[in-house]
Amino acid sequence: MKTILFTLLTLVIFRADAIRPTPAEAQDAPETFINATIHTGDGNVLNNAMMVIESGQISYLGSYQKNQEKGQINDLKEHHIYPGFILTNTNLGLTEVDAVRASVDFKETGQLNPNVRTSVAYNADSMRIPPMRFNGVLLAQVVPVGGLVSGSSSVMQLDAWNWDDALVKNDDGLHINWPSIRNKKFDYATFSMKLEKDKNYGDKVIKIKTLFKDAQAGHSPDNIKLDAVAAVFKGDKQVYIHASTPTAIIESIEFMQSMGINQPVLVTGSAALPVIDFIVSADVPVIINSVHSLPQRNDSPVEQPYAVAVKLQQAGVLTALSYPGSMSSRNLGFTAGTTVAQGLDKNTALQLITLNPARILKIDNRYGSLATDKSATFFISTGDALDMSAQQLQSAYIDGRKIDLSGKQQKLYKRYHDKYQLAE
Amino acid sequence: MKKMLLLLLLSLTVSVAGAQLPTGTVNGVQDVRHAVMALTNATVHVTPDKTLKDVTVVIKDGQISDYLKDKRPPENAVVIDYQGMHIYPGFIHLDAEVGLPEPAKRPPFSWGGPETLQSTVDGAYNANEAIKASYNAADDFSHDTKANQALRQVGFTSALSHRHDGIMRGTGTLVSLADDPAQLTLLASKASQHYSFDKGSSKQDYPVSLMGAVALIRQTLMDADWYQQQNKMTDLDLAAINNNNQLPRIFSVKNWQQTLLTRKISDEFNIPFVVKTAGDSYQSLEAVADTGQTLVVPLNYPKAPEVSSPLDSYHVDYSDLKKWQVAPFNTRLLAEKGVSFALLPGDNKKGLKTFLKDLRKAVKHGLSEQAALAALTTIPAEILNRQDIGHLEKGARADFIAFDQHLFNDKAQLKDSWVNGERTEINPRQPLPSGDYILTLDNSQHELKVSFKKGQLNLQPGSESEQKFKAKMDGQLLSLVIDEQAPLMAWVADGKIKPLPSDYNWSLKLSKQNDQDIKSDTDESVKDLPNIPKPFTAYGLADTSTPDKVLFKNATVWTNEEAGVVENTDVLVVDGTIKKIDKDIADSKADLIIDATGKHLTSGIIDEHSHIALLSVNDVAVNSSMVRMQDVVNSQDVNIYRNLAGGVTAAQLLHGSANPIGGQSALIKMRWGVSPQDMLIEGADGFIKFALGENVKRSRNNQSVRYPLTRMGVEQVYRDAFSEAQRYQKNWDDYNNLSRSKKIKVSPPRRDLAMEATAEVLNEERYISCHSYVQSEISMLMHVADDFDFKVNTFTHILEGYKVADQMKAHGVGASTFADWWAYKWEVNEAIPYNAALMDQVGLVTAINSDSAEMSRRLNQEAAKTIKYGGLSEQEAWKTVTLNPAKLLHLDDHMGSVKEGKDADLVLWSDEPLSIYAQAEKTMVDGVIYYDRDKQSTLEETINTEKMALIKESQSSGDSKKPSAQAAKPELHCDTLITHNAFLALDNGAE
């Protein structure tokens, strides 16, 4: 195993001298992959299948056809092809070292910041990006946090010279943090965390509602905050509601739908469980903010957070998985694996981090699944990409460009592997 | 019954003049009285077991002088009729603050500002500001009418008052609650010593944690001992501890875990404590009862959480509901266990007001009336070594209370409080008995019903009448209005109505007295004891009974031994030990046979770095080696159960990383439902947390003044501590080597708990697990260790271990690291997920740990990452969370692998244990199956059903609700600081 891995790594590190991986050049010649197990991301698996990519797109996908072969032929016997994972709701590119304030850019001060935009702060050279790609995450929705309205997110591809270059979808969504009637507070008297009623809850809700109503009315054309909100009424931007209690879920969705925003995206966790029926009837998609987390209450089912997405998906809700922050988000694929242990089949689990998020982000015309005429954004793994004991990326492509999977971590590994003269 | 409860407006017979101070100055003429009082026809509860009915109590000079049966009262006595009244000894309050100024405010804790390393108190006091042992409540005591009154109103006649501030709080004073000058009410100026684990108003940083408070108490008691034998210094607090050591010690605690801790200290120093609990002993009844200590128990009844809509149940925790249900049974449970206890009003603000109601509630929940009375009278008197209070035998102080009926009847009202023979009326007696009266008005007769509501007279015609009657009482003057005519007036005295002259010839006479005034309602049935989960949390309902002999049939066994992974193998567990590993072990050998076909059996996961199951994580002294995590093990943390569900069977509970030298670790097994002490691994070696880098140099606090602020300083802290420990040891060796005669002539060196622990490190009697990140500091500590001739046992976190793995190997240290954490702080910039594999391949004993309650339950998956990053084989990877941590913790002789003779800490997995798809199906510790996935859905259903029933029951009860609920506990990391004042996650490792 070690030998295979090391060979792989040596292959991967072909530009070990680079500060960070240099973005790949546009695909200039077609490439063909044969004998692969192709996980298409839309719920299907094609065994011993063939895929041809050309000019950044998939030109052929299906069973082996000799006459479809083009360009370099890669025999992927015992290899898997997966669509690039899509990491939604992340602060990737907005922070380097969380403990160092100078390196943190994800949270603007103030309560109402609809006008701030993550795209302009996105660091395409972030040290955090190469480890994502190394584990198959090739696209990310970069989201601001904080306040009641945090600002606008953008969707990025993870192999770019700069943020302009990285943009897949600029200002794709407006992010609302719906307040809860109760908040967690540390209670000095009992020396424990307590839920306490938020006295300002009513005011906070009114602030959000007024912002949307004023924006819709259009009475202040020069107001950049209202302009940023108005885009949602024109259909230029989606609304993402971050809500952490069942009541907040109902209240926020009822409000958005009453404003004519029929399909806001709900970002939540176990709070969805008591209101699954409501979510189904409201017909809104859901992003699960964290799978690998602790149950909400001491008496909650032990594996509650692992199962939330499973229950939503099984109820027919369009569901995607996310991973909080960005330090450990490279494990996104494994959280999908976790849902398999909770009852999803592997193909559906894969959908939670590929086609489903693409549909939620409305980029599914190009990304999220492998199909003819869609973007050639995928990776090749020698093993099951949802299982850390098997996932091993051999190569990855974004829009047909074969990206450099190595990063500083791989360079350091090689450097010390060599120093200690360990067996290859 | 001929007569009724009587009104006595001339009630203040004695206290009119008040007590005179013998040494006082009289402005006027002497007015000294030696009153003799005779209370006739009373029922007197002399002690909880002795009741005298229909007796005359004679009171003389403030004492009970005699009981007379069928005899006339003494000639010279003032006679008061106590017909129908029940007299009890006055209650004794053991936790009062009456007559004392408010203690100084608790300073708000802030990690942001400059630290306060020294005591801020001037004078020859203890070096730690939380030690206030020289404080005497009597010095500060002043008469407080209002506070006295509030206590008397619910039956207290004396109180032990102390200042509720600090860890050693000084002495308490026993005061009588009479409204007399302080000179007369202090019954004992020094009656007790008081302790707590709460540093209160102390501005000094240390100790911020519970284990720090324990360490400070232990050190201070040792210092007091040493103080007697030295003549170098004066410390008024240490002197006071020695001077007061004959007084009873009362220890105030905030939870049952602390109750157990007091016993530990008591055992070590051979000093008994009376423990004022938080009223939560029911949460760990056996362990509390086993301490054998006398308790002082407040009647704390937690409110049920408010549930205003069905969606609110999302916020409501089972254990909050359960506390509401079980807390009223607390005193009954203690009594049934034979625990001796005194009672107190509830700790909340309203506790005093609702005391009598709360007391009756305890009785309704099964506390016997005798036990309740004893808990308020004889037991507190016994605690205080007082013969004169707490009972009403002849010669006792005339401190008693009188109710209009048996005290435990719901409607019983406290009428009089007598303190030192002085009577205060608490509630006026009803001027007339309620009942049917006949109004004779000239020649006509009318039936009237007389009743009283909140002291107001209420009059209703007994039969249908066309006439309207209204009556009012103003003091003793009764006015009666018939059909809105001019009122008739009468003077009411001694229950008789004497009409005042008028145009009518009239009278109003009792014909039939109502029964309800005297009706007993104690026949109400006692409430049934509900089930009590163990530990006291929802998953305490799990059934963990397992037969002694268990056979796993046909498993794929990951042995971690030379045999590697063996298929189709049986494993027999007997009495907690792996008895046999073989093919086809006979079924007859076991009482429980588990079909493990297609499943994987492994030894349990051991987490080298955990902070679950702890009440506190960090203290702040630069050398905190005196604090012990075993003092703060919280056996009811649900994360223990969650760990079991993830196949974890043991963990090292580490101190945090706020200091270069941290506290002593606790090594536990995940035995769910046992006491904190029983979670500890018997015979395990001692370990200690060290820490390097950003946290110890307080990188996030720009205003920090605490040495060290750089990695340079960190090294010097170690060199200094170890040099000092060497000197310390030498001093003791020198002393111990003296002949007996010489020893007498010199004073022994001072014992120092931090130095003792530090010296243990030098002597390799205690092993370091050092929080570390960058290569420079890793090498540094190894150099220091080399210079002082010992080995560092483990570097934990050790994210740059891969850079110095060869040096580490040469030193002989092991490594315990994260699988893939990075980017959360500056010093982890070069953390790489290949770290574990590189260190393992270089030949270090390498473990993967969690430092996270969330991740610890997925450590099998974290181990699997060493396959992806660095290509470890599956078996090598598996060892990083089992055998390797067992080696690092010196537990591998009996844990860490599946081997005959080793502890039966086993996990049965649904799949290959390293797979993301694997689930722990059964987790066994010492042969007991604490987690069984097969039973999980039933258990979750049971929890939910009971919770819903509790919500229904609590919401429909008349009890008030609290609009808040327990939230899930915040996760504790290395850098978490939990103090009495604040909870701060200094470094939220998981972002």
* Angle of CA points B204, B99, B389, to nearest 5°: 115
Q: What is the CATH number of the domain that holds B670?
A: 3.20.20.140
**Is residue B253 over pLDDT 90?**
yes
pLDDT of B487: 85
Q: Which of B425, B450, B476 is the last residue of a domain?
A: B425
Contact B260, B273 (CB under 8 A): no
State which residues form the domain around A55. 17-83+387-405
Q: Residue B924 sits in a domain of what CATH number?
A: 2.30.40.10
Residue where the block lists tokens 């100026």:
B189
- Whether residue B9 has pLDDT greater than 90: no
Is residue B988 scored above 50 in pLDDT? no
Asked if B823 and A128 come within 8 Å (Cβ–Cβ), the reply is yes
Model confidence pLDDT, tens digit, residues B889-947: 999 999 999 999 999 999 999 999 999 999 999 999 999 999 999 999 999 999 999 99
Same domain, A165 and A232: yes
**Helices and strands, number each (H, E), in chain A:** 12, 18
In a domain, A377, yes or no: no
pLDDT of B18: 60
Q: Are residues B588 and B660 in the same domain?
A: no
From chain A residues 383-422, the ones with a CB under 8 A of any chain B CB are 386-392, 408-409, 412-413, 416-417, 419-420, 422
Q: Is the pLDDT of residue A2 over 80?
A: no
User: Same domain, yes or no, for B916 and B776?
Assistant: no
Q: Are residues B237 and B342 in the same domain?
A: yes
Domain count, chain A: 2
Residue B101 corresponds to which tokens in the numbers above? 């100024």
Residue A142: predicted pLDDT: 98
CATH number at residue A221: 3.20.20.140
| CA atoms of A8 and A424, how far apart (whole Å) | 11
Tell me, yes or no, whether B246 lies in a domain.
yes
Same domain, A63 and A208: no
On the question of pLDDT at A12 being above 60, the answer is no
Q: Is the pLDDT of residue B35 over 90?
A: no
**CA gap A188, A190 in Å, rounded:** 6
Q: Assess whether A45 and A96 both reside in one domain.
A: no
- Whether residue B967 is contained in a domain is answered as no
Say yes or no: B319 contacts chain A, CB-CB below 8 A: yes
The answer to whether residue B76 is domain-embedded is no
Asked if residue A218 and residue A135 are part of one domain, the reply reads yes
What's the pLDDT at B816? 98
- Which residues of chain B does A416 touch, with a Cβ-Cβ cutoff of 8 Å? 802-803, 805, 838
Residue B34 lies in a domain: no
Same-domain status, B405 and B458:
no
Taking the Cβ of residue A245 and every Cβ of chain B, the question of whether any pair is shorter than 8 Å is answered with: yes
ipTM metric: 0.95
Q: Are residues A72 and A130 located together in one domain of the fold?
A: no
- End-to-end CA, chain B: 77
Reduced 3-state DSSP string for B618-632: CCCCCECCCCEHHHH
Instruction: Write out chain A residues lying below 8 Å of B803, CB-based.
Output: 416
- Same domain for B404 and B476, yes or no, is no
pLDDT at A17 over 60: no
Q: CA-based Rg of chain A, rounded to a whole angstrom?
A: 22
* β-pairing verdict for B435-441 and B506-513: antiparallel
In whole numbers, what is the pLDDT of chain B averaged over residues?
Answer: 92
Listed residues B402, B425, B448: the one ending a domain: B425
Mean pLDDT over all residues of chain A?
A: 94
Check residue B699 and give its pLDDT.
85
Band (B134; pLDDT cuts 50, 70, 90): very high
Residue B642 with chain A: CB contacts under 8 Å: 294-295, 302
Query: Is A298's CB within 8 Å of B868's CB?
Result: no
**Residue A303: its chain B contacts at CB < 8 A?**
645
Is the bond leading into B535 cis (omega within 30 degrees of zero)?
yes
pLDDT tens digits, one per residue of A102-143: 999 999 999 999 999 999 999 999 999 999 999 999 999 999
* Residue where one domain finishes, among candidates B399, B425, B451: B425
- One domain for residues A232 and A254: yes
Does residue B297 lie within any of the structural domains?
A: yes
Contact B282, B330 (CB under 8 A): yes
Q: Token digits for A6?
A: 């090391």
Tens of pLDDT, residue by residue over B731-755, are: 999 999 999 999 988 889 999 999 9
- Closest-CA distance, B477 to chain A, in angstroms, reads 51
Query: B969 to each of A196, B315, B506, B637, how far by Cα in Å?
Result: 14, 13, 74, 9
**Domain membership flag for residue B33:** no
Chain B stretch 630-659, residues whose beta carbon is closer than 8 A to a beta carbon of chain A: 638-639, 641-642, 645
Q: pLDDT by residue (tens digit) across B194-237?
A: 999 999 999 999 999 999 999 999 999 999 999 999 989 999 99
Instruction: Say if CB B63 and CB B402 are below 8 A apart.
Output: no
Whether residues B587 and B698 share a domain: the answer is no
Nearest CB to B834; choose among A294, A295, A413: A413
In this structure, the answer to whether residues B416 and B505 fall within a common structural domain is no
Residue A55 in domain: yes
Residue contacts between A and B (CB atoms, under 8 Å) = 219
Q: How far off is chain A from B670, nearest CA to CA, in Å?
A: 16
Q: Kindly tell me the burial class for residue B598, based on how many C-beta atoms sit within 10 Å of its own C-beta (0-12, 13-18, 19 or more).
A: exposed
pLDDT digits (tens, 9 = 90+) for A364-402: 999 999 999 999 999 999 999 999 999 999 999 999 999
Establish whether the linkage from the previous residue to A23 is cis, with ω within 30° of 0. no
Q: Do A1 and B855 touch (CB under 8 A)?
A: no
- Give the C-alpha separation, B798 to B804, whole Å: 10
Q: Rounded to a whole number, what is the distance in Å from the CA of A290 to chain B's nearest CA?
A: 12
Is A6 part of any domain?
no
Query: What is the largest distance, in Å, between two alpha-carbon atoms of chain A?
Result: 76
- Residue B71's pLDDT band, with cuts at 50, 70 and 90, is confident
Nearest to B949 by CA among B524, B453, B316: B316
Give the global pTM.
0.93
B32 band by pLDDT with thresholds 50, 70 and 90: confident
Whether residue B237 is contained in a domain is answered as yes
User: Quick one: angle between helices B210-227 and B753-762, nearest 10?
Assistant: 100
3-class secondary structure, A60? strand
Query: How many domains does the structure of chain B reveal?
Result: 4
Quote the percentage of chain B above a pLDDT of 70.
94
Nearest CA in chain A to B823: A97
Question: Mean pLDDT across the stretch A281-295?
Answer: 97
CB B594 within 8 A of CB B553: yes
Answer yes or no: do B303 and B420 share one domain. yes
Residue numbers of A between 180 and 209 with CB closer than 8 Å to B? 182, 184, 186-188, 191-197
pLDDT at B981 over 70: no
- Arithmetic mean of pLDDT, B642-650: 98
Looking at the fold, whether B559 and B421 belong to one and the same domain comes out as no
B138-177 residues labelled b (16+ CB within 10 A) or e (exposed): beebebbeebbeebbbbbbbbbbbbbbbbbbbbbbbbbbb
**DSSP three-state, residue B813:** coil
Is there a contact between B822 and A126 (Cβ–Cβ < 8 Å)?
no
Per-residue pLDDT reduced to its tens digit, A157-198: 999 999 999 999 999 999 999 999 988 776 655 556 777 889
Strand partners, B545: none
Q: Specify the residue for token string 């070096």.
A: B127
Residue A192 to residue B966, Cβ atoms within 8 A: yes
Separation between Cα atoms, residue B609 and residue B974, nearest integer Å: 9
Full domain range(s) for residue B123: 91-106+116-425
Task: Compare CB distances from A297 to B317, B842, B940 and report the shortest one's residue.
Answer: B317
Q: What band does B11 get if pLDDT is binned at 50, 70 and 90?
A: very low
Percent of chain A past pLDDT 90, that is, above it, reads 89
Averaged pLDDT, B955-970? 72
Are the Cβ atoms of A389 and B916 closer than 8 angstroms?
yes
- The predicted-structure confidence for A320-370, as pLDDT tens digits, reads as follows 999 999 999 999 999 999 999 999 999 999 999 999 999 999 999 999 999
Residues near B167 by beta carbon (within 8 Å), at least 6 away in sequence: B128, B130, B131, B132, B195, B196, B197, B198, B199, B200, B202, B207, B213, B216, B217
Q: Which residue has the higher pLDDT, B456 or B140?
A: B140
pLDDT tens figures, A21-72: 999 999 999 999 999 999 999 999 999 999 999 999 999 999 999 999 999 9
Q: Is residue B20 part of a domain?
A: no
